[in-house]
Chains A and B, each alone.
Chain A
Amino acid sequence: MKITIERGLLLKVLTHIQGVVERRNTIPILSNVKFDAPDGQLSLNATDMDIDIVETIPADVASSGSATAPAHTLYDIVRKLPEGAQVELDCTGDDSQLTLSAGRSKFKLTCLPTEDFPVLSGGDLPNNFTLSAADLRGLIDRTRFAISTEETRYYLNGIYLHAAEKDGVEVLRAVATDGHRLASVEIPLPQGAAGMPGVIVPRKAISEIRKLIDETEDEIAVSLSDTKIKFAFEGTVLTSKLIDGTFPDYDRVIPEGNDKVLEVDTDLFAHAVDRVSAISTEKSRAVKLTIAKGNLTLSANSPENDTATEEVPVDYDEAEIEIGFNSRYLLDIAQQIEGDRARFTLADAASPTLVQDLDDQGAIYVLMPMRV
């Protein structure tokens, strides 16, 4: 294999790909990226056995072939090459070493046999539909903050993507929760998604696909089975295993009987929470909300008895209530709300509170209170 490629293009792909490659690997081949160069194009492939990314870019192929080389080292080298450099990758003749040359720099990297590189993609993916990149970004961005990192409840370590029905309309819904807060966002069900199984897309796959689609406006082709999901667009294909578990019946934690409604200016609220929580210690971070007619008082204190309070005007016309929340969680949710006004629907100090964006009926957030 002998190819020449512009440094900027190669760097962009390596940036995408190296995120998948674990820094420490017990299986050496997993530290490597695989190059495949048929005529006129180069595809790069990396995997951690759970996620597999293939990106194909145009390249000047002098002789076709394939090779593998250490992904992080390669990324480091290409990153440090001068802008605009032409990079030549060559392993013709000796396939145990890959020679990378650019200008006056020359590197020789140890290759591992390409046939050792694991193949993760493949298998039948019967459900197919397309999503706009903007829709997929929206589903991810408004739910990923609530993904759990708790290993004991591994089935919460991802976003639950499934077809559902709301008020007679079919929707594609993304739900994430860590038990303290829950985010549920939906869009109209894309054609072809009807009958898809509910799947839990792991956190790492979410974070990688989100990076990949950051700049594109393409349609994303989604294919899935009950064990794998594949996202494809613009020469990039990300395939991920799904979390093998049952997502809990989240419907029952979305409160329905809450009767105390509060509406507040999103910005005012988020900034007030941020300021007040500056006082509470890293470890507890509880903020108390005292809600009275027309007025919300946020307060926090530290174990050293430092205190903070701030008042925010609100629309509220019910009996006075006091409720505590983790300030981080409250902020996270406030930051998801892009509209001017947020609506809180409460029951009492011990029951989950529902939070909605008045401009966005497709998203709901549920927050568990804290004892304060």
Chain B
Amino acid sequence: MPSSISSLCRECGAHFDAAPKDERCSVCASPRIISHDELDSLSIAHIDCDAFFASVEKRDNPELQNKPVIVGGGKRGVVAACCYIARTKGVHSAMPMYRALKACPDAVVVRPSRNKYSEVGRQIKDFMRDTTPLVESLSIDEAFLDLSGTEKLHGGSPAATLVKLIKRIEDEIGVTASVGLSYNKFLAKTASDLDKPRGFAIIGKAEALDFLGPRPVGSIWGVGNSLRGKLERDGLRTISQLREMPEDELIKRYGVIGKRLSRLSHGIDSRIVEPGSKAKSISTETTFSDDIRDLETLLHRLWPLCEKVAKQLRNKNLAARTLTLKLKTSGFRSLTRSRTLAQPTQLAEVMYQEAKVLLEPEVNGTPYRLIGIGTSQFADPEFADQADLLDNSAATFAKVEGAMESVREKFGGPAIQKGRTLLKD
């Protein structure tokens, strides 16, 4: 029955019980009218900012507005984000920089300023939390929102509330976002990608199966390249082919993920939107502009990472019990080595010493392109870095790092460095 269709203006949020006659909003005259049978009943949304880093850069430097912008860095770096102008030339994120510049030689390359992005990301999340407490953050610029039961509070359907929310983000923060609205997380996330940028896509219960059917298995959340390859070798290319397989068979063939594949292929996803899951790990890594093989140079690159992670631990008032060293070879093989520390630590020096022990056996002439360090198993810093019978250096390191921190706060990052930051030629 066409009369049951509700419509909504993507621009101003005006709500219509039937689709407007001339297909334009009668309030703001925008042609962007969203009409859907289930418009008023769907309440799980996925919001994803459009070319986030690039949008922030364009916002802060209007000269970049109409130029292709790539955020990323270094000769060996990869594209962290690129604006939609650059995308028309074939640039996409995670693409090696040299290839991106080949595809789009006139692009303006901007070095990423992560602190700025996380600040903007935090503002956006605050706006989301103003709308509903059920915000599950996925990354710096995307989140799931559950808007069930907010109709009375916001005086409108979840869809209308979402339009208002992204309009607020656009007006007050200056970046655009795309919304996917559906009845579960999987479909909401799938939807947000359909209509980018400034999108608003809906997948209702009625069309979910037809919609999913022809899509490639790789579009299922959690199906990476290797699983996709495996599925394709087994003749499962589309979601409808997956749906025809009995769940048992999928579990038998692919293990636990088989259950998920089967359920998602039927549009079933019962995971709830879980807000406020605390960080489980803090890590950082760096890609080298030239491969590194020797211990001294690797250690030289490791130290600033330790300092960075220690600083984040201090900021979050955490201490870590487990340390993980990550390396990637020039052949893109990743390896990680972990150890549980004798006691939780918050100190860069302790992490450095422990990571060194993990690193040494891996230095055997293999060329590495990346090194990273991660901490997990957090504990109360109250119990971290306690004095030791034999070795009181933890207290000394704590004093040194505390003093360096206060000097840096006053005079900036490079004002004081450890000697090991300087590398002999």
A residues engaging B (CB < 8 A)? 148-153, 156, 177-182, 248, 250, 253, 283-284, 286, 303, 350, 352, 366, 368, 370-371
Contact = CB atoms under 8 A, between A and B. Distances in A.
27 contacts: A149-B342, A150-B342, A151-B339, A152-B354, A153-B391, A156-B390, A178-B342, A179-B390, A179-B391, A180-B388, A180-B389, A182-B389, A250-B390, A253-B389, A283-B379, A283-B380, A284-B379, A284-B382, A284-B383, A286-B383, A366-B389, A368-B386, A368-B389, A370-B383, A370-B386, A371-B383, A371-B386
Nearest to A152: B357
Contacts of A179: 342, 388-391
Interface string B324-344: 000000000000000100100
**Chain B interface category by residue count:** 10 to 19
A177 B342 CA distance: 13
Given A283-B379, A284-B383, A177 B389 contact: yes
A152 B386 contact: no
Given A151-B339, A283-B383, A352 B389 contact: yes
Interface of B: 321, 339, 342, 353-354, 357, 379-380, 382-383, 386-391
Contact of B390 (A151, A253, A303): A253
Contacts of A248: 390
Contacts of B354: 152
A152 B394 CA distance: 14
B391 A371 contact: no
A314 B382 CA distance: 30
B24 to A, nearest CB: 58
B353 A152 contact: yes
Contacts of A283: 321, 379-380, 383
A252 to B, nearest CB: 9
Q: Which 10 A-B pairs have the closest CB atoms?
A: A179-B388, A253-B389, A150-B342, A368-B389, A179-B390, A284-B383, A248-B390, A179-B389, A283-B379, A152-B357
Nearest to A351: B387
Contacts of B379: 283-284
Contacts of A286: 383
B53 to A, nearest CB: 37
Contacts of B353: 152
A253 B339 CA distance: 28
Contact of B387 (A148, A156, A250, A368): A368
Contacts of B383: 283-284, 286, 370-371
Contact of A350 (B342, B387, B388, B391): B387
A371 B390 contact: no
Contacts of A152: 353-354, 357
B342 A368 contact: no
Contacts of B390: 153, 156, 177, 179, 248, 250, 253
B338 to A, nearest CB: 12
Contacts of B357: 151-152
Given A152-B353, A248-B390, A350-B387, A371 B339 contact: no
B389 A303 contact: no
A366 B390 CA distance: 11
A231 B303 CA distance: 45
Nearest to B358: A151
A177 B391 CA distance: 12
A150 B367 CA distance: 29
Among B339, B353, B390, the one with the most A-chain Cβ atoms within 10 Å of its Cβ is: B390
Given A283-B379, A284-B380, 12 more contacts: A150-B342, A156-B390, A177-B390, A178-B342, A179-B389, A179-B390, A179-B391, A180-B389, A181-B389, A253-B389, A253-B390, A368-B389
Contacts of A148: 342
A331 B82 CA distance: 59
A248 B391 CA distance: 10
Contacts of A303: 380
Contacts of B391: 153, 179
A114 to B, nearest CB: 31
Contacts of B387: 350, 368
A282 to B, nearest CB: 10
B104 to A, nearest CB: 48
A227 B83 CA distance: 65
A371 B388 contact: no
Nearest to A179: B388
Nearest to A372: B382
Contacts of B342: 148-150, 178-179
B363 to A, nearest CB: 17
Contacts of A350: 387
A156 B354 CA distance: 16
A58 to B, nearest CB: 45
Contacts of A371: 382-383, 386
Nearest to B380: A284
A148 B389 CA distance: 12
A303 B389 CA distance: 27
A332 B354 CA distance: 27
Nearest to A283: B379
A150 B387 CA distance: 15
A286 B379 CA distance: 14
